[in-house]
Amino acid sequence: MAEGNRRRIVAGNWKMHGARAALEALASGLAARPANPSESAPEVAVFPPFPYLSAVKRALEAGQAEGGIAVRMGAQDVSAHTEGARTGEVSAPMLADCGCRYVLVGHSERRASCGETDEQVARKFVRAASESLIPVLCVGETLGERNAGRTAEVVLRQLEAVLERVGAGGFGTAVLAYEPVWAIGTGQTATPEQAQEVHAVLRAAIARADAKIAAALRILYGGSVKGANAAALFAQPDIDGGLVGGASLDLKDFWRIITA
Ligand code: 13P
């Protein structure tokens, strides 16, 4: 268990991978794993593509009904608006309606390829939280920014954009994810020490506003987490679990991470 009695989360971001049958099978396989009543068992969540949310939810519930583990679900993005003429967007109430508990906001792939700004990410965070979803705010630096010694500056800027709007109270239920862009999908994981250093910087920034909320805040690491490196990462005092991409599509490896 992470420090401060924070319950670890292991979350699988399935990105734009798979198709209905494969993702249903993955969800069923995961939810068929025997439930672990131990208090130190992590919370498990998956983030399927939008069209498969309902199918995955059904598969997860069916597994749990037969004695398998509880797996929560989240979406990979959310609109900053509640409803209206917004072609292609998906609102927070729709996600809640489909059984989502979590939603990623500000994933680096959306910041990079969809041009999402800190300001837009902050608005999505606010919208998700106001609809009872738990936002998972993703922050992280590029390789160029790291090499220029700007890691802390970049992640703090991304965090501050949200903190300014919601205050420390907004992080009472939210989750933070540190995902160095250079480690995503590259096989090049941040070392446990590199990740810990940034997690500590993030927690300290929240602590300046509210020490109690900071101590309870769960900060996940994402970026080439695998069965083989998860335990060393999760052993760090400020790392409270993982946001896993590629390895979450492989049931065996994802389970190794969950049980790390
Ligand atoms: P990988 O685990 O494939 O590096 O992806 C990490 C990620 O982006 C999770 O959101």
Residue 77 Cβ inside 6 Å of ligand 1? The answer reads no
Separation of CA 85 and ligand 1 centre (Å): 32
* The ligand 1 atom nearest the CA atom of 109: 8
Active site residue 107: yes
Tens of pLDDT, residues 82-102: 999 999 999 999 999 999 999
User: Could you tell me which residue, 174 or 34, shows the higher pLDDT?
Assistant: 174
Structure tokens at 210: 């509210």
Describe the crossing of helices 192-209 and 151-166 by its angle, rounded to 10 degrees: 30
Q: Which domains does the chain have, with CATH numbers?
A: 3-259 (3.20.20.70)
pLDDT band per the 50, 70, 90 thresholds, residue 4: low
Q: Does position 1 have pLDDT exceeding 60, yes or no?
A: no
What does the pLDDT read at residue 35?
87
- Give the distance (Å) from ligand 1 centre to CA of residue 185: 6
Quick one: tokens of 175? Answer: 């989750």
CA of 159 to the centre of ligand 1 (A): 19
pLDDT in tens, 201-239: 999 999 999 999 999 999 999 999 999 999 999 999 999
pLDDT value, residue 36: 83
Place of tokens 């929240």: 206
pLDDT bracket for residue 40 (50, 70, 90): confident
Alpha-carbon distance 43 to 98, whole Å? Answer: 19
Q: Are 50 and 90 in contact (CB under 8 A)?
A: yes
Query: Which phi-psi region, left, alpha or beta, contains residue 70 (left: φ > 0; alpha: ψ -120 to 50)?
Result: beta
